[in-house]
Chain A
Amino acid sequence: MSAARRTRIAVLSSSLLVVVGLIGGAVFGLQVHQLCSYDPIGGFTSFALISVSIGGFVGGHLLTGWLEATAGPRDADDRSPQGHGIRARLDGAAGSSQARLAVQLALVLFLGLSVWLLAYEALALADTSANWPITYYVRCFTHANAWAAGIGALAICTLLGQWVWYPGG
């Protein structure tokens, strides 16, 4: 196993631990004051959050660039035909139709969730006296837990740099 691959596994494992830790913290230990601020984030906190986000995004891209430069052949390629059943004969690859269905379901789920969240956000912004918009929750969390917001932003942006800014794309 190459050093780049070991590093990437370490980064992904660390990111998973951070995200799981943040989920645990949100479920069991999140302390938010009833009167927490929903003012726009400004000053050093804003600068630091944007800086770690950009740094994480570029870092993720550089990490995958290192991985690609030193990558060996992959053991398993999902596009190659596998299996000998009827489905394998029909599709040319037993795993491909399942993979397509999984991607399609995930995409539909993601887009449906986005529509639901954006509709709520629009309705809440139209009348802020009735419900809190999601934006206010994000600001409130950042005002109350700036360090956790920074660590979460770094982990998420590093992952996005690995996924959507892949070298050669």
Chain B
Amino acid sequence: MNVPPLNPLGIELTCVLALLLVAGGVGLDLYLELTNREPLGRRVTRWARRFPLFMAALSLVFGMMVGHFFFSLPAG
């Protein structure tokens, strides 16, 4: 398989972008917990009950992305 040389900036940006999204979610949930507000998980659950088809489609896309990135079958 012919693959070009690695661009170190690419892996750095991929890591930082993905981690920033997670950090935002954690920061928000921590703020909600510290101020004794309804936690993020309960809000997500309520939202999923209100829009089950949208949530199912979102879960499908998210699951396909995770499976594609982390569960690779050996070639051949």
Q: Contact at B35–A40, with CB atoms within 8 Å?
A: no
Complex partner residue of A12 from B29, B35, B65, CB under 8 angstroms: B29
> Least Cβ distance of A67 to chain B in Å?
8
Residue B30 at the A interface, CB < 8 A? Answer: yes
Q: Contact at B19–A19, with CB atoms within 8 Å?
A: yes
* Secondary structure class of chain B's binding surface, majority of residues: helix
Number of A-B contacts (CB under 8 A): 140
In Å, the complex CA distance between A130 and B51 comes to 40
User: Across the interface, which residues of B come within 8 angstroms of A82, CB to CB?
Assistant: none
Q: Contact at A16–B30, with CB atoms within 8 Å?
A: yes
In this complex, the interface size class of chain A, counting residues with CB under 8 Å from chain B, is 35 or more
* Chain B count of residues within 8 A CB distance of the other chain: 50
User: Across the interface, which residues of B come within 8 angstroms of A121, CB to CB?
Assistant: 68
Bitwise, B1-18 to A at CB < 8 A (1) or not (0) is 111111110111011110
User: Across the interface, which residues of A come within 8 angstroms of B40, CB to CB?
Assistant: 162-163
> Least Cβ distance of B75 to chain A in Å?
8
Chain A residues in contact with chain B, CB under 8 A?
5, 8-9, 12-13, 15-16, 19-20, 22-23, 26-27, 30, 32, 34-36, 38, 40-42, 49, 64, 67, 74-78, 103, 110, 113-114, 118, 121, 128-132, 134-141, 152, 155-156, 159, 162-166, 168-169
For the complex of A and B, 5 pairs with smallest distance between CB atoms: A166-B41, A169-B45, A40-B72, A26-B15, A75-B36
